[in-house]
Structure 1
């Protein structure tokens, strides 16, 4: 098989194929987790930690270094360096005994209960957790596909795309034009595009104050709209123009060769174009036959797939109800799923599911805002039971405290994910 020990972290196993970890398990139930982000890493850690060695846990994740999408906008804005968003899987292996396989999961045989790997071979499971994040809907932005991401980056999967977009912004000519093609609902991190606009404006205000920012937006409204528009008016007066669907924002095409954006017949010559396409569940979900439309329907009591009782799906890939697609949501859902999986495999106690989410956004220096809610499952969906949001007109001390709260949350969630 193509898989070798360099693909594994931890456990000290020398193997020629994939049978060795399963022999090592000595009959323990096997959980495989696909995707090492806020959902998958958290689920793997909690199952390994709370089962006290009773469950054999394998985490499949192609990247050796994980860059968080949350807070990547702050890197674009100059408030964090890239390394502060980078994390590895060493402690999951060394401290929790998780078999970390750095490879792509390419398919799921639900009858045989195996996950196929791009490097060859397959990994068997008793329960499977999928947390693959998003992929993009082909053709959702006319003129753009993944072959154009090196010219018109999406930067909606963090890492090299984020560094590319930041470099393009900093290299804009004096008085140049930045265009964002915003995504339709639903998509990862509802406030994310608008926090990004704030961070781009922050950079341009300092480096290129006569530059212009245009948003082509297919949505009538967006998350925290009043807060963002108040902040843009206060900090970046005259720099940002949003073109909504009433003015053609939903009828947009791009030409990567000429760096042009056509918004309802008006052609704009741009210096930087950030295309954020329509989104769908990560491709492994479709390959496993779990999707309904673009997303995976799940039972909100446990995050189990409504199509396979042995597979749980987390985070951005799901259609679960009222929770937004966010890192906080995925982390919250992972803990519920981990508890359900442990209960199914070891008979441990399972408590009623409860979920929470908060999304923080930075508008300018020390000007942070947030929105969030608590959730509980019904038979139909995960439903919001209470919510909160920052208010327009808040004083500077409140906004600074909100930003500082977000910094503490980042440290907390990444520790919760990676140990």
Structure 2
């Protein structure tokens, strides 16, 4: 697919009609989507396109420009520029007739079927899709909260945080120290922190070869571990040290004021620190009373909330079974939910739910690896059917082809999201 990028030209480019109390005074079924990422944007476009005007679709997303978290590590590594991961919603509005509303959804009245917006308006729905991504668990890294994110960025919501982390890495003194505090399971994009370490190492190898990278990791293992460790030894020998739970990696604290990280009582002075805290469903899910603990449980076959059949939840926010929290997963789940909603509201045919996911990671120039699986819906969960992962010791030509495959996937999924 070819990615078409268009500049957003003010609020006139979107059909914002919130002055009317009911948005559209007609009997057309109304679907409201909260969150314009891999899940929400895909679902909105799919429903609008496939219903051919039979369903009124409103997409609520506070950002006018959306930066994909997937491929943001490649920006840090210098393989992409920021514009290449930036997307707008003009095509969804102009070509698919979606009402794009740039505001924050602050609450859901499930009895009245209304979404409240920060700007004071209310948007009614017949079916609601929540795809809000992640928020962070307060206090999960002692000494860190959102007030510390300018000195110790998380960069797990892409955009300004990603640019800030890249700038801090590039500003490190010669021989300096970069520390990542990795998150506990479950979290967005399981290979993501380790691809990020690879991209930071790629930059430092070229500009600051005596620098050190330390990973404080609360997990005993991580996605694609053998592949990353093989790649680190090959490309960045001696630069990267991972401290797992056996050596105190789960007992980590930070002090943003003096840029220090405590690991099991030992204090490390750092020049750049990337803190990726424990994660939970985006706040709107808890505000709507749809979470069980940190995540929102769903019915696998339809992605409906287990608390409310009129609400579907997608992507990173969900508690659904075996699928990882990834952009590919959210996109796959969005198509299942869109089909279920279209069937419920228009009587169109609904097919059995099938899901898939692949996560690509770049270790160094043309050294791409991947992991993925197919899934099916059972009564209890989305269950893995079959999977695959790159092998250690693969030929350079295969690794280069895997990286090229990821570039094609990015163009395809963003076209699927934004049109």
TM exceeding 0.5: yes
Work out the CA distance in 2 between the residues paired with 1:239 and 1:295: 36
Equivalent residue, structure 1, for 2:5 = none
SS in 1 for 2:380: coil
Q: Across the two proteins, how many residue pairs are aligned to each other?
A: 411
1:166-185 superposed matches below 5 A: 166-185=166-185
SS in 1 for 2:107: strand
Structure 1 unaligned runs (5+)? Answer: none
SS in 2 for 1:322: coil
1:19 Cα deviation after fit? 2.9
Equivalent residue, structure 1, for 2:19 = 17
SS in 2 for 1:214: strand
1:240-389 superposed matches below 5 A: 240-389=240-389
1:8 Cα deviation after fit? 6.6
SS in 1 for 2:178: strand
SS in 1 for 2:23: helix
Work out the CA distance in 2 between the residues paired with 1:10 and 1:103: 13
Work out the CA distance in 2 between the residues paired with 1:180 and 1:137: 17
Q: 1:47 to 1:169 in 2, by over 3 A?
A: same
1:374 Cα deviation after fit? 0.2
Work out the CA distance in 1 between the residues paired with 2:80 and 2:122: 39
Contact persistence 2:187–2:325 (CA under 8 A): yes
Work out the CA distance in 2 between the residues paired with 1:259 and 1:365: 31
Contact persistence 1:356–1:373 (CA under 8 A): yes
1:21 Cα deviation after fit? 3.1
Q: 1:16 to 1:43 in 2, by over 3 A?
A: closer
1:198 Cα deviation after fit? 0.1
Work out the CA distance in 2 between the residues paired with 1:21 and 1:55: 13
SS in 1 for 2:190: coil
1:90 Cα deviation after fit? 0.2
1:294 Cα deviation after fit? 0.2
Deviations 1:144-182 (A, max 9, x none): 000000000000000000000000000000000000000
Equivalent residue, structure 2, for 1:97 = 97
Q: CA RMSD in A?
A: 1.1
Contact persistence 2:39–2:331 (CA under 8 A): yes
1:116-131 superposed matches below 5 A: 116-131=116-131
Work out the CA distance in 1 between the residues paired with 2:38 and 2:106: 20
1:27 Cα deviation after fit? 1.2
Work out the CA distance in 1 between the residues paired with 2:200 and 2:57: 41
Deviations 1:241-283 (A, max 9, x none): 0000000000000000010000000100000000000000000
Structure 2 unaligned runs (5+)? Answer: 1-8
Deviations 1:318-340 (A, max 9, x none): 00000000000000000000000
1:57-136 superposed matches below 5 A: 57-136=57-136
Q: 1:206 to 1:17 in 2, by over 3 A?
A: same
Give the TM-score of the pair, scaled to structure 2.
Answer: 0.97
Work out the CA distance in 1 between the residues paired with 2:178 and 2:19: 49
1:122 Cα deviation after fit? 0.5
Equivalent residue, structure 2, for 1:235 = 235
1:117 Cα deviation after fit? 0.2
1:121 Cα deviation after fit? 1.6
Work out the CA distance in 2 between the residues paired with 1:364 and 1:51: 43
Q: 1:232 to 1:16 in 2, by over 3 A?
A: closer
1:144 maps to 2:148? no
Contact persistence 2:18–2:121 (CA under 8 A): no
Work out the CA distance in 2 between the residues paired with 1:18 and 1:174: 59
